[in-house]
Structure formats: C-alpha cells, structure tokens
Chain A
Amino acid sequence: MRQMKRLLDVYVALQALFALSWCFTDADPGPAVGSQSNGERFKIEGRAIVPGVKTQDWVSTARILVEGEEYVGFVKTDGSFAVNDVPSGSYVVEIVSPSFRFDPVRVDITSKGKMRARLVNYIKTSEVLRQPYPLQIRSSGPHTYFMKRETWGWTDFLMNPMVMMMVLPLLIIVLLPKVVNTNDPEMRKEMEQSMNMLNPNPELPDVSEFMTKLFSKGSSKAGGGNKGSRSVALKRR
C-alpha cells in the first residue's frame, strides 16, 4: 500500500515536471499579434447566458472585463454585450458578476480585425481550443463562496474510527460468550489452552479470563451497566 502511494507520488511529480519543462520550451507566442495598435479599433461581441435566471435579475451587477480593467463593457438587458474600441491583440475576456460564475475566454484579434475565441490556458498559452465567436458564455452556476459547516449527526458519530474502535470490541466482548457456548467443557478447555498460549505468564491475572468467567455465570444483567459489574468483579477479588 505504502509503495503504491509512493509510486503515485513519483508519478504525480514526474507529470508536474513534464508539464513544467513543456511550458518552458513552448516559445511560440501564439498567433502573430502585434501589441502595438495601428490606430484601428475593434469590437468584441457576445452573449452571456445564465440558465434559468431572468436577465434583469443579474445584468445590473455584471460587467465585461477585458484583460483586467483595461477595457470595460456592460451587459444589455437581453444578455448580449459588446466591448468597443479594443485594438488588435490577444485578450482574456471575462464576465464578472458577484452572483454567477462565468468562465473566461481568450479572444484574439488580428491587425486586420479577424477574430477568434479560444479556451484560456495559461500554461499552454498557444494551445487553441476554439470557442464560438461571437462569444456565447454560459454561466456554470452561482458562486460557491461559502464552506459548509460540519453538522453533527449520529451517523458521523458512529462512523468515527475512534468510536468504532471502542464499540466493536465491546460488542465482541458482550456477544461472543453468548454465541460460543462456554459451558461446553471441551470448548472451554480449548479456549483456556489458547489463552495460555497467548499469555506466557500464567501467574498474571488475566482480564479476559475473568470476564469469561463472569459472563458464563449467566448474569442476565450484563447489558445494563458493565461498568458497575466490572467494579463488582474487582471488588470480589
């Protein structure tokens, strides 16, 4: 098991290393895009969709951010948007809303105004996974800002390993004598033998021994309070 884990770790690290070296050797800066604009300005268009929510409930808080706050656009009442006056280049377009999550999209604009949209990949920056243009950005649901509180339930309590460790031996102690007929002398002998084998020092008082003795007496109240009965047993000695 342990070896398995180590293997997995090595595998993970190797993968990480591989990806690292990959990202360093990737020298291609994507499509030929001049960051210097030659004056011409373009328009990034698209539509934002939040399934199952009316547009008027979220458009007033949403904004379109292009490369941080470098260019800003607003959402129309029908969910469509346009960001004007963007020079050619490659930009990450993001719809920002405090209530809904939208995935960012990278939009490349050539100096001639040709546009394409692709998935944002910060590691493999030149990888092209085409997205529809004009942009169709569908919300992947509301933001999950909050952690869940750990609620206390009986099942959680019972499934706790510590509790299990306590409860299972208890059950065994209580139930085993009932299942195995300890009055059978043969069985008893056998058990004693095995006990002696386990216990090298027969002089030492053995708890399990007197437990079995105690329970074999057929005290019917054993389930009631084993603490009490244990103390009784001790006192009797």
Chain B
Amino acid sequence: MAWLVVRLAISMSLLYTASAVFEDQVGKFDWRQQFIGKVRFALFDTHSQASKKLLLATDKNVFASLNSRTGDLFWRHVDKTGPEGHIDALLMYGQDAVVVVGNGRLLRSWETTVGGLKWETVLDTGSFQAAALVGVQDFVKYVAVLKKSAISLHDLSSGSEIWVENLPDSDSVQYQTIYSGGNGLVLVLGVVPNSHIVIVEYKIEDGEIMNKKSVEAAWMSSLESSCAVVSSGILLCVDQITQSLYTLPLQSAEQTEMRQIHLQTLDLEVVSGFRPVLTSTQPNPAQPPLSEFFLQLSPDHHILLQFKDGLIAPLRDFNPAYLAAFATSGERTVAAVMSPKNDTACSINLFSADTGRRHLDTTIIYHMDPNGGKPNRLYVHAFLKKDDSVGYRVMVQTEDLALTFLQQPGRVVWMREEALADVVTMEMVDLPFTGTQAELEGEFGKKAAIQDGLLPMVLKRLSSQFILLQAWLAHLWKLFYDARKPRSSVKNEVTIDVLSRDEFNLQKMMLMVTASGKLFGIDSKSGTILWKQYLENIQPNSVFKLIVQRTTAHFPHPPQCTLLIKNKDTGLGSLYVFNPIFGKKSQISVPALPRPILQTLLLPVIDQDYAKVLLLIDDQYKVTAFPSTKNVLQQLQDTASSIFFYLVDSSQGKLSGFRLRKDLSTELIWEVVIPTEVQKIVAVKGKRANEHVHSQGRVMGDRSVLYKYLNPNLLAVITESTDTHQERSFVGIILIDGVTGRIVHEAVQRKARGPVHFVHSENWVVYVYWNSKFRRNEFSVLELFEGAELYNSTVFSSLDRPHPPQVLQQSYIFPAPINTLEATLTEKGITSRHLLVGLPSGNILSLPKLFLDPRRPEMVSEQSREENLIPYAPEMPIREEWFINYNQTVSRVRGIYTAPSGLESTCLVVAYGLDIYQSRVFPSKQFDVLKDDYDYILISSVLFGLFFATMISKRLAEVKLLNRAWR
C-alpha cells in the first residue's frame, strides 16, 4: 500500500516532466534499419515456385528470413552473442530449416513461414564437425550430426534422437564429413593426417556399424574443402603438392587404394601457393550427388568437370572466373559463373551443369562499386520459367559485406549494407549551407559590417532578400511542376547535392565507422546512405577513433574529419582524412606514425584554415601535431604550458598526467597508481567537449543558491575488484582532476560487480553496476557542489581550487538489465537532462535525470516541495511511455549517440547495435516550437468569432445610441 502511494506521488510529480511519443508521431522523425551481419549460410526456398523466402545465417548469430523480392526481413531471430550462439550449419528441407547452434550443442528446427521454433534438442558436448540431411527411399527423414567422437541421428519432424553412436578410434582419427546417398547408410569419413582415410558405414535404422575400412592416403592432411563426394558415392580429393586428383568408390570392397589422376593429363595446373577447392552438388539429400563438380585452381580460375565411368572429363574451363556456384530447380541443375567483364563490371552467366553449355540470354551484369570491395560469395536462385527454360537471380556478397540481389539483365532488385550491423563509432556533422543561405550568412559577417557604410548595407540586404525571393519562386515552380506529374514518377530521392541545412539544424550527416572498415555517410532524416567508402587492408582487430577537425561552419573551407585506425595488438596507427559530407578522401598530407599511439587530443587551437589541431602522443611520450603548419606550431609553443593530457595504463593500474613543453616533448606531472592486485581500471571518462551547462547552480527551497562544481578537467575512473567472489567483489569510482592529479572523490560499492555503465556530465556521474548480494542492477549518482559560494566565478582553474567540493550520493534499484547508457545533449544546456538507457529487450528508455538526484529527500518538507524534488523511493520506475522507440526495438544495442540540434528543446539520438535507430527526444517537451497537435482551427475560429462579435456589437451599440437620441 505504501508503495502504491509513493508511486502515485512520483507519477503525479512526473505528469509535467515526462516525454513520450504520441501515436501520430510514428515514423515522422524516426527510422530504424535492421541488419543481420555477414552472411555465412544462405538458402533459397525452392520448395514452391512462388516462394520469396531467403534464409540466412550470419556470423552475428542471427538466423533470418528475407523477402527475396524486396530485401526486407520477414522475421529474424537473434541468438546469444559469442560461441554459444554461433550457427554451425544450416540445412533446409521443405518448410523446415534445421540449424546447428553453439558448436553442435543445440539442434533447432524452425518453421520458416511463421518464424517459430518447431523443436529444439540438446546434443551431447563435443566439437561440431558436420551435419547432413539423411534420406531413405526418396524421402528426407533424418538429420545426422557428426561430432568429434560421436555421431547422432535425429528425426526431422520431432527432433527426437534415433540413435547416437561413438566413433571408433576417435582420439586418433579426425572425423570430418558425413555422406549419405539415400541407400539406407550413413557414411562417416575421417582422416589420420598424412596416413590414411577412415570410412565407417552406419545403418540408418539402428546405428549398427555395417562396414569399416581404411584407405592409404599419405598426402592428405584434411578432408575439408579439398575433398568432395560426387556421382554415386565416389570420394574425390585434390592435392596441390602431387598436382593430382584422387578418386575412391566409398562402398566398394575391392578397391583399397585411391586412384591417382594427374592434373597434367587434363591439361590443368594448380597455381603454387593456392589450395585448390572442390565443389560438388547434391540437389536432393535422398539421392546421390551429381557427377559434375567445380575445381578451383587459382583465385580466378574455375573449371567444370565431370566424373563418368571412373574417368574425369573437363566440360568447360572458366578462366578468368571469380566465383562459381550450382543451383537446382526441379530436375535441372545449373551452374552460375561470375567472370570479370571490365574494370568496373562482372558478367554472370548460366551454364547447364550436365553439359557445360551456356544458356542463351542469361547474362547478368554486375557493376562493382568503385568504393566497395570485391565480390566473394555468390548465391544463385534458379527457377523454371513458363516456357520450361531456367531463369535465375543471384545474390552477391562482397568483401565489404554488401549484399546485392540481381536479376536479368543486371537490374539491382535490392541491396543491403550488412557492414552497418557492426557500427564501432559514429559522429554527426552539420550539413553545409546552400548558396543562398551562405549569402545571407555572409551579409552579417564580421568584416562586412565594419567596412561598409549604411547604404551598401541596405543594398546588400535588398539583394539578398531578392535572392531569397528567387529561390522561393523556384521552389514553388518545382512544387507545381511535380504536382502535375503522376505521383509514382516523383521520387523523393535524397542526394548530396540537394542536401542543405534546414532551419532548425535537425537534419545532419551521420558518419558511421564499421568494424569491417567501411565508412558510411547517412542522412539522419531519412536514413538514406549518401556515400560509402570501403577502406581496404583493415585488420579485423582494429580500433577506430573518429575526430571532427573542421565543421561545416567555415565556408569555403570544406569540413574535415580524421579517422585514426589503430591496430589493437601493435598499437600502430594510421590516419585517414576525409570530407564528411561527400566522403571523399582529402588531399592533405598525413603525418607518418612510426610508433604506437597511446592517446589523442583534439585542441581548441585552430590553424589558419580553421581546422582544430589534433595531438597524437606515442609510446615515448612524443607529440605529433596534425596539421603541423608553422602557424600551428607557433600557437602550440605559446599555449604549451596550459596543455595537459593524461594516459591510462590499465595493465599496470597507472594513471599519469603530462604537460606539453614548448619543443613538443612532454613532462610527467602526476601519477596515480591503483594496485592491480586489488582492482583494475575498467574505464576512464571525461566530459564531452561540446557540452554546455546553462545554470551555474541550483536554487534551493530557501532561495539560496547551491553552486555546481563544474570542473572541465574532471575524470571519472571506474575500477573493478580482481577478486570476483560474490562477497568480496566491489566496484570503485574515483574522480580525479586531469590537470593536477588530485583525487576529488572516491567511492566504493561493496558486493558489486560490473559490467559498469556510466555517464559523466555537468557536475554529476551516474553509474550502473550489478549488486551481487541482492542480484539486481543499481544506479548510483554522484553530484558535486561547490557550496553556497563560488570560489572564482569568472574562470575555473584546476590549479587554484582550495576547497574540495561537497559530494552527494544516492543509489536506486533499477528493475531491468542494462546494455548501454548515455545522456541527452542540447544546444545550450537549458533543457533538463534525460538519461537514455538501452535495454536488452531492445527498447530505449528515456529516464528523467530528476529521478537520479541525490537531493531527493526521504522526508518531504516544504522546501523540497518548493524545489520540485521527488521523495526518495528505492526502486526506479520504468514506464512504457518512456520507451522512445516504441515497438521499433534495437537488437543488441551497443551504443547511443546524442547530438544537439538547432532547437534547444530537441536532442538527436542514434542508437546502434545490430540495428540502427534514429530519433529525436524532447526532454522538456517541445517548448520552443508549436506542438504537432496545435489546434490552428480552434485558435483561428476563436479569433474570427471575437472579431465578428465586436463588429456586430458595435453595430448594435450604434443602433441603440441612435434610438436613444431619437427618444
């Protein structure tokens, strides 16, 4: 009951502060894009002709069904990250898709039309090797899963285990593949490297070993990719050292040795250093594979071969050819081959598999993106046309994880940029002004006002007004022109050329850096990708840091962004400088970075071209400036004594502060050592550089002012205990002044552990940890105040602050797990702050900072009510109205980016993870714009009504006066 009352009190006090979405705002300023990641397995539903399903399993542990006509998701299942959710194999038969998950731990069957789970079976532990569908008498009934030491057979309709058998000599033999040709047997193939092959035959009904034999193969190290089963059970292997193919009938008793066929006899040769690959196809699991197969001899040389009567005959040589794939429709199997056409395009052709003859009029031209990567996977969907000829569509995956779906004669049906499933860091950049806007801005430029007299200023004003009028007329004309055209032909295409800043600067350019090394420029209003750039040769373990050196404000200088790419292992970095609006690489010469980079520092110092100076500190504490012109170096020399930076060495638990010297060397000023035996540094965060604080203090209930401790150099250091025992683990927070190294405050949360998420802003730090005693997440807020008086109200100096700040702290229970945490940011900092909490459910909660106020009283008093403080309640409320993304959930949200807009009330929000969601939040509601539901009709009808009422009453009054005069 008491809780009810408290909650009631809270909700009452919140009626005026809560921000929420109205139903009619859906999709008005927000959008979501869903991704799946890098495709590992893709299968087209060939069950029926009309089926549009495309099943995909990706490296992000996502299993999804796409509409192959539009590229949209039918459904998507996001499993756990890491090896436990890893998809090992994807098999499909009819309406069911069988997936092996978590290194062969789980076997799942999905109903593909609904997207629901049909059954799930737990398998024994053991590393997964292979899985195959097993058919008996033309019906696929079972699925076989091969582990390192066991094989099991499961019923396809219920998932129940038919039998499980241990493999003989599994500690010496590496069993790697399964083969079943529909003849009542399951064959398991294993290899003892450089010795022999082992073939074990199991009976499908009860798992009895029917036959076991070993065949000499001294040259063989692995069965995978170099071996394939073709025709009616012929094992075919290729070896690059002996330059030969080997064949072996799997079920014949007589032949005990592999037959060698020299590639020379076929006029073929494997390029040295390349591991040849054999690709065969088995269209129906209940029937033996086809006798045709592909042999890849070099990265761009494929050959289609046929195995017939113990002989291998080449059907067609594809040189050059990047990719080749089989596809089956009905009884017909075709091969699609992608070969280069010219520098920018590839042609894909269809060949019949059994003869190698080219199908006429089947060419698809694939244009390669000059800013993208090379194609590396080809998936073919073949179908029978009405005239019984074979038609096909292809899906091409490139190195930069773009999926392109093409149909004849080269029309791109859809395209997905799956690199965006793994956004590492992002920034938002203002769009440039248009010519007219720039003209207007120029009029009020600093120089103009001083030099010109009154008359030229007036003339200028008139001319710019005229330009505006012209632009407006042109706009009207365009509207009129578009209105005459049928609606379908008017495309709302967004291109870079038409992009310009809107009145309130709500539309911005989103720069996204992805883990694969592809950069994107996305229009924040519509989500359209405006440019993309694939950076080749990015190591997979690279870390990125994106820095905006020059914004769009310095016309005519183009905006400039710098991406620091750093190898995680070696620490060596490189810089990539580009224009964020057009995505073009800048011609500016970049300093060479021979030594590992420890820290970067963006100074407010600008060079003569208005680019901010970036300092890079290497492992010998030497500083490199970029750009490093004379002007910059001069400025650096002048200001060197006031440039400080800090370094974190979490392996040694050391925090150290440095000062820049005039010759760009550095000197150590302070050092704080946090003993690594007890605790380790998890994260260090300063404040955001573009943050504004509007009010210096808080007005208390008794009309006095409590001044905030606004130290711009303050660092929040989060530590976690090395002891992970439930009773002894703790989470610590240390607030350190980054200039002097003075520890401003220290707090420890006992019986707590990470992961810790925290936000450091204004005069407060909010952090979340896991309370291991009560098994719940807890929020803790630290607020720093100077007291009732400011020590030096004009300027803040870390070196001259004799009084330590007053620190207030309060903790609350948060009744949900947390993925990420960020605070809203507005132009001037007048608007109240909200915390944006990314939840594992995919929702983004906008939590008013009002709730995280350490001054929330336990006892309500007159003063606290005056201050609008909510009485303390241990549990934080979560209301569904606070989910800013309603049902547009963001899977695996990893980061939230906030940026101010031109409107003080509005903060732009981008949440990224597997999906990307962009929206706007209004923490104090839209106080500076008319609301969406502003009732224009009512207000105008009242105005008109009053107007007419006065007219009528005036008339009446006149009449009455007249009458009286006559009386």
- Tell me the A residues contacting B by CB distance below 8 Å: 8-13, 15-20, 23, 27, 29-30, 35, 43, 55-56, 59-61, 63, 65, 67-72, 74-77, 81-82, 84-85, 90, 92, 94, 96, 98-99, 101, 120, 122-123, 125, 143-150, 152, 224-225, 227-229, 231-232, 235-236
Contacts and interface: CB of A to CB of B under 8 A. Distances in A.
Contacts of B102: 85
Contacts of B772: 35
17 contacts: A9-B860, A15-B3, A16-B872, A19-B2, A43-B122, A59-B114, A60-B115, A63-B77, A65-B841, A76-B118, A85-B102, A125-B776, A227-B953, A228-B956, A228-B960, A232-B960, A235-B961
Interface in B829-852: 840-842
A10 to B, nearest CB: 7
Nearest to B75: A60
Given A23-B874, A145-B887, A225-B952, A96 B77 contact: no
Interface in B868-904: 871-875, 880-881, 883, 886-889, 892
Contact of B880 (A8, A69, A82, A101): A101
B116 interface: yes
Interface in B106-143: 106, 108, 111, 114-120, 122
B84 A85 contact: yes
Nearest to A147: B20
Given A17-B858, A146-B21, A152-B938, A59 B115 contact: yes
Nearest to A61: B75
Contacts of A150: 933
Given A12-B9, A152-B935, A75 B117 contact: yes
B315 to A, nearest CB: 43
A18 B774 contact: no
A232 B961 contact: yes
Interface string B307-345: 000000000000000000000000000000000000000
A85 B102 CA distance: 11
Nearest to B20: A147
Contacts of B80: 69-72
Given A122-B875, A227-B953, A77 B114 contact: yes
Contacts of B23: 146, 149
Most buried by B among A82, A96, A145: A145
Nearest to A65: B840
A16 B2 contact: yes
Contacts of B957: 225, 228, 231-232
A13 B859 contact: yes
A15 B119 contact: no
**9 tightest CB-CB pairs across the interface, nearest first?**
A60-B115, A15-B2, A68-B817, A77-B116, A145-B886, A60-B75, A59-B116, A98-B887, A146-B23
A29 B773 contact: yes
A17 B857 CA distance: 10
B26 to A, nearest CB: 8
A120 B772 CA distance: 16
A67 to B, nearest CB: 7
Contacts of A82: 120
Nearest to A144: B880
Given A16-B871, A59-B116, A60-B75, 17 more contacts: A12-B2, A12-B871, A13-B859, A15-B2, A17-B858, A19-B874, A20-B872, A20-B874, A69-B80, A77-B117, A77-B118, A98-B887, A120-B815, A145-B883, A149-B22, A228-B956, A235-B961
B943 interface: no
A56 B114 contact: yes
Contacts of A98: 842, 887-889
B66 interface: no
- Interface size range on B against A: 35 or more
Contacts of A123: 813, 874-875
Most buried by A among B24, B118, B774: B774
Contact of A144 (B81, B815, B859, B881): B881
Contact of A149 (B24, B115, B841, B892): B24
A147 B9 CA distance: 19
B841 A12 contact: no
A29 B78 CA distance: 33
B841 A96 contact: yes
Given A68-B817, A72-B85, A147-B20, A84 B858 contact: no
Given A143-B887, A228-B960, A13 B871 contact: yes
A22 B510 CA distance: 49
B114 A60 contact: yes
A161 B895 CA distance: 47
A237 to B, nearest CB: 13
B165 interface: no
B85 A16 contact: no
A46 to B, nearest CB: 14
Most buried by A among B116, B120, B860: B116
Contact of B116 (A9, A18, A76, A125): A76
Contacts of A227: 949, 953
Contacts of A70: 80
Interface string B1-33: 011011001000000001011111000000000
Contacts of B817: 65, 67-69, 92
Nearest to A21: B858
Contacts of A85: 84, 102, 105, 122
A18 B117 contact: no
Contacts of A63: 77-78
B620 to A, nearest CB: 42
Contacts of A67: 817
A136 B178 CA distance: 41
B945 to A, nearest CB: 13
A59 B120 CA distance: 15
B21 A122 contact: no
B505 to A, nearest CB: 26
Contacts of B818: 68
Contacts of A120: 815
B528 interface: no
B465 interface: no
B745 to A, nearest CB: 23
A60 B65 CA distance: 11
Contacts of B860: 9-10, 12-13
B704 interface: no
B726 interface: yes
Given A90-B775, A96-B842, A145 B880 contact: yes
Nearest to A11: B5
Most buried by B among A8, A122, A144, A147: A122
B79 interface: yes
A52 to B, nearest CB: 18
A8 B776 CA distance: 31
Contacts of B883: 143, 145
B840 A16 contact: no
A122 B875 CA distance: 8
Given A76-B118, A146-B23, A16 B887 contact: no
A151 B896 CA distance: 34
B120 A84 contact: yes
A92 B817 CA distance: 10
B774 A29 contact: yes
Nearest to A76: B117
Contact of A56 (B20, B116, B872): B116
B64 to A, nearest CB: 10
A108 to B, nearest CB: 10
Interface string B74-104: 1101111100110000000000000000100
A94 B841 contact: yes
A29 B775 CA distance: 8
A16 B774 contact: no
A157 to B, nearest CB: 9
Contacts of A9: 860, 871
Contacts of B81: 69
A86 to B, nearest CB: 11
Contact of A16 (B858, B892, B954): B858
